[in-house]
Amino acid sequence: MPETTPLLVNNEFDNDSVPESLIEVTEDTATELGLTVSEYELIKKKLGRNPSYTELGIFSVMWSEHCSYKNSILQLKTLPRSGGRLLVEAGEENAGLVDIGDGYAIAFKIESHNHPSAVEPFQGAATGVGGILRDIFTMGARPIAALNSLRFGPLNNERTKYLLSGVVKGISHYGNCFGVPTVGGEVYFDSCYSENPLVNAMAVGIVKTDETASAVADGVGNPVYIVGSSTGRDGIHGASLLASREFDEKTEDMRPTVQVGDPFQEKLLLEATLEMIQAGVVAGMQDMGAAGISCSTAEMSAKSGTGMDINLDHVPLRESDMSAYEIMLSESQERMLVVVHKGMESQAEAIADKWDVPMDLIGQVSDSEKVRIQKNGTLLSNISADYLVLGGDAPVYTREVSKPNYLKKTSIPASELVEKYNTKEDLEQILHQLLSSPTIASKRWIYEQYDSQVRTNTVNIKGNAAILRLKELPGKGIAVSTDCNSRYVYLNPYEGGKSAVAEAARNVACSGAKPVAITNCLNFGNPYDPEVYYQFSEAIRGMGDMCKALDTPVTGGNVSFHNESKNFAIFPTPTIGMLGIIDDLDKTLSSSFKNIGDKIAILGGIGENLSGSEYIKLKTGEIIGEGQYLDIAKEKNLQDLILNLADKQIVHSAHDCSEGGIAVALCEKAISSTKNFGFDVSVKSNDAVSLFNESQSRIIVSYDTNNSKEIERLADSHGVEFEEIGTVTSGSIKMGNTIKSSIKDITTIYEGSIPNLMKSN
């Protein structure tokens, strides 16, 4: 490996010396790069001089919303960010780390790749998967699962079909080639996502607690390496321009800001970096995602209170004529910045060579507390690392809030919706229409493109949450889920934020796992819009209240603002990734019916809230209502009850009620049974409100008749409503005298909807 050329540390910038004299840096230059005039003035004040063009580029990406969280950090700090089983506080590392006992931990995180996926769906989604996987293994954890949360416009639109097809292919390509199972996710379709789809990628890994790595730059004099792929022009300004602006007529011109991924190279990078960590040669490591070398050098230095001297002449390039500005801002994929313990360079290089992974010495750790960048013998950037990072001197803003005007139109009282839209007529037809709605219908067309079984850890991917065995801990497992009904958040941001956390936890609990921690991906519109910031702050308040009640602290995640076009913003979408722990895999639950003659009951009450429901959308074409109110104590009691029932093994199945209400949940249980199981139930009045309302905190269970009294007793002891509504049958479904269909018919409707829409012109 070549030695780094010593930095010309005496060639400091001053007001009279501008090394990049051919490029004039002005306020206009700053605004073109996404900075505000006031931010440009702040940069000059901090530096005590005018910045060079390379420095201005570094500030533009590091102070972008995507990297600095300047408009969100004050709100994020109100969430519970420590305690429970967390081994690191939120934001301290690349991913959350949760203690699962016996010397092991789970690393997990979710992030967005929305804007790149709208511009180039295949590569945008693929590199979203690659980026989140690197966040996991840069901590020393081996990835064992991937999930996703997707949002698109109506599926009768050709562009939506193009985006959906490209995104799914991108996710499957990267995950399948890398060799990680994609085990879960969710997909919603609403017109607000037509121009701005959401692609949130989540990854989960396992690591021994004494073999973790940290994103630090410890040890003055330690060598700094770039490990992995060479650096190209792909992804330049992905963080500051593509991820931090709305879509307009220039969006299609931004394809060069979308990164290009190579999953095979990432697989080699995984093996090489994990072996380096286990060999003890790594002092610190961080992947190069958003903002590339700029971010990794600054964040690692700031965390350790050190600095870095970097020589760009030794960065391996795909194109020989790249400028310092381009090299520092490139977001080329499959790269790591690794600080190696001095004296262990040969050992580290031998491991990289074994896995055929490039490893180039580009600098060293210094005691300057500054990131100093040189190229061709010239010092081009000399910035205090603390100026650049979240939690340091990057700007932090308090934004104005205003209750959205649209709520005056949408906030129709629940009683009025019941009175106006309740009916017993044509309920079978309505049920069929709901089952064919792309938001509710089977996502088999999507998930069958993913390899869900690679590595053979997958126990179950159907139903409530994905269940994975942990081979390192025989008999033990985890459950993971992604959830958010953004319609609920749109109608009532506070209650919707509570519901997003509650449903994610409920799904995990319905699998028999104890919810222990969340990661989140907060997708919103323009934070400078007071109405959007009201949505954001209220949703976070709701999330925080629910997390505190369930003791599921936030391990970290991602904020994605500016998800809007010229015409409208997306629904506020705080996606929750939930982790649950299963101490005994023999006590897991699935959603499907198990035996003819089993009793069926609803835990938590029948409910009658139609706000934001799929039924109301079907009847009116609108998202209206006051929102889905959630009683925190009731939710906590319900989850405690289902975990108790699972532990005692006295229920055969469990499935939470969500989109489409009780009727759809019962049909999903029947369809997933694969043995032609049906049901005969009577739900209160067997009318539209009883069958299709989406009231919160409800679970449908099936069980042996002999356990009825014990389940009712336990429900009462937990303060949970218990109502036996019917029996598992064979061949057909029956709901009072209003709905009767064959299992074959509802399965055909449910399974065929998305494939048929994707084939239609």
State how far the Cα of 523 lies from the Cα of 562, in Å rounded to an integer.
8
pLDDT of residue 2: 37
Q: Chain centroid to CA 72: how far?
A: 17
Q: Can you give the C-alpha Rg of the chain in angstroms?
A: 26
What class does CATH assign to 1-75+215-396?
A: alpha beta
Over the chain (761 residues), what is each successive 10-residue block's mean pLDDT? 37 40 83 94 96 95 92 96 94 94 98 94 96 97 98 96 98 98 98 96 98 97 98 78 58 62 97 98 95 96 98 95 94 96 98 98 98 95 95 92 98 97 96 98 97 95 94 97 98 98 98 98 97 98 98 96 91 98 97 98 98 98 97 98 98 98 98 95 98 98 98 98 98 97 98 95 67
Backbone φ and ψ of 309, nearest 5°: -105, 115
Which residue out of 113, 173, 432, 562 is catalytically annotated?
A: 113
Identify the bridge partners of residue 580 per DSSP, sorted by sequence position: 479, 515
Given a contact cutoff of 8 angstroms between Cβ atoms, the answer to whether 721 and 626 are in contact is no
Token reading at 761: 């012109």
pLDDT of residue 9: 36
Q: Chain centroid to CA 182: how far?
A: 13
State how far the Cα of 519 lies from the Cα of 646, in Å rounded to an integer.
25
113 is catalytic: yes
Beta strands in 463-509 (DSSP E): 466-469, 477-483
State how far the Cα of 96 lies from the Cα of 113, in Å rounded to an integer.
19
Cα torsion through 73, 78, 82, 86, rounded to 10: -70
Q: Are strands 370-375 and 307-311 parallel, antiparallel or unpaired?
A: parallel
pLDDT of residue 240: 56
Domain ranges of the chain: 1-75+215-396, 82-212+450-580, 399-441+589-761
Identify the bridge partners of residue 499 per DSSP, sorted by sequence position: none
Given a contact cutoff of 8 angstroms between Cβ atoms, the answer to whether 393 and 46 are in contact is yes
Q: Which CATH number fits domain 399-441+589-761: 3.50.50.60, 3.90.650.10, 3.90.1150.10, 3.40.50.1000?
A: 3.90.650.10
In CATH terms, are 1-75+215-396 and 82-212+450-580 the same topology? no
pLDDT of residue 12: 39
Beta strands in 333-419 (DSSP E): 335-340, 359-366, 370-375, 378-384
User: Other CB atoms closer than 10 Å to residue 586's CB: what's the count?
Assistant: 8
pLDDT of residue 236: 85
State how far the Cα of 370 lies from the Cα of 740, in Å rounded to an integer.
71
pLDDT of residue 256: 58
Which residue out of 66, 314, 562, 718 is catalytically annotated?
A: 66
CATH code for residues 82-212+450-580: 3.30.1330.10
Given a contact cutoff of 8 angstroms between Cβ atoms, the answer to whether 277 and 333 are in contact is no
3-state secondary structure of 261: coil
pLDDT of residue 238: 63
Q: Half-sphere exposure (CA, 13 Å, Cβ side) for 730?
A: 4
pLDDT of residue 11: 38
Given a contact cutoff of 8 angstroms between Cβ atoms, the answer to whether 616 and 622 are in contact is yes
Q: What is the pTM of this model?
A: 0.95
Backbone φ and ψ of 344, nearest 5°: -110, 15
Identify the bridge partners of residue 653 per DSSP, sorted by sequence position: 702
State how far the Cα of 529 lies from the Cα of 526, in Å rounded to an integer.
6
Q: Chain centroid to CA 474: how far?
A: 28
State how far the Cα of 321 lies from the Cα of 333, in Å rounded to an integer.
19
pLDDT of residue 623: 98
237 is catalytic: no
Closest by Cα among 637, 639, 630, 685 to 662 = 685
Query: Which residues in 308-338 are b (16+ Cβ under 10 Å) and which e?
Result: bbbbbbbbebeeeebbbbbbbbbbbbbbbbb
pLDDT of residue 8: 38
* Run of H or E residues at 538: helix 530-550
State how far the Cα of 137 lies from the Cα of 336, in Å rounded to an integer.
11
Identify the bridge partners of residue 228 per DSSP, sorted by sequence position: 335
